[in-house]
Amino acid sequence: MYNLHCHSLLSDGVLLPSEVAVRYAAAGYKVIAITDHADYSTIKTTIVAIIEFCRHWPQETGITVLPGIELTHLPLTQFKPLTRYARKKGIQIIVAHGETTMEPVIPGTNRAALEADIDILAHPGMIIDEDALLAKKRGIFLEITSRSGHATTNKHVCDTAMRLGVRLILNNDSHTPEDIISPDALTAVGRAQGLNDENIKEMYRTLRETLAQKGVR
């Protein structure tokens, strides 16, 4: 089981990356990504910390931890240069903070993020078909989230993605211990939006193939 969107105290989470990993392992996950929030003010130090942590995380713990970042509330022109910087420094999972309806996000953020080299558009709110089709073209995952508030538009995201054939991903977007729900509970979030077992099986098959291309088995 995978969760490729979680936060530590390197941004606005409350746990050390090591405790995030240990708690996810205890919950039954096999692969996670530490994707702390970043913009121009923090991206250099945050990437250094995350890369260093992941480099030293032992495989015998039973859980793989991938280095990630969540580009958050960026001016639209900053997505491309910051994604290039993150890739160059070794970040494997780039999440963009999408146009959630629970926060003031710059209009056009979904589009600008999808035009950059991201992997996941998190909580994309009331995403329009044009942007969803761009995600499809670029092989970018749209997120269905278990996080309160951001989850209010899950149904719209799911319906749009299923209608247009866009990749979906289930994520916790965890910040606290309470956010780390079990794999079964996370799967239930997807089912609640209308995904069936075959949809979920295909979603994880696609995700495994994508991670395998990054060298994650």
- Predicted model pTM: 0.96
pLDDT of residue 216: 72
For the chain, give the number of residues. Answer: 217
Q: Mean pLDDT of successive 10-residue segments in the chain (217 residues)?
A: 96 96 97 98 98 94 96 98 98 98 97 97 98 97 96 97 97 96 96 94 93 79
Tokens linked to 89 = 């420094």
pLDDT of residue 50: 98
Alpha helices in 10-153 (DSSP H): 17-27, 43-56, 79-88, 109-114, 129-138
pLDDT of residue 215: 77
pLDDT of residue 5: 98
pLDDT of residue 59: 85
pLDDT of residue 213: 85
Tokens linked to 114 = 């999808």
Q: Give whole-number Cα distances, 17 to 67, 120, 166, 202, 217, in Å.
A: 11, 20, 31, 30, 21
pLDDT of residue 217: 60
Alpha helices in 57-169 (DSSP H): 79-88, 109-114, 129-138, 154-164
pLDDT of residue 100: 98
Task: Tell me the domains of the chain and their CATH numbers.
Answer: 2-213 (3.20.20.140)
pLDDT of residue 76: 98
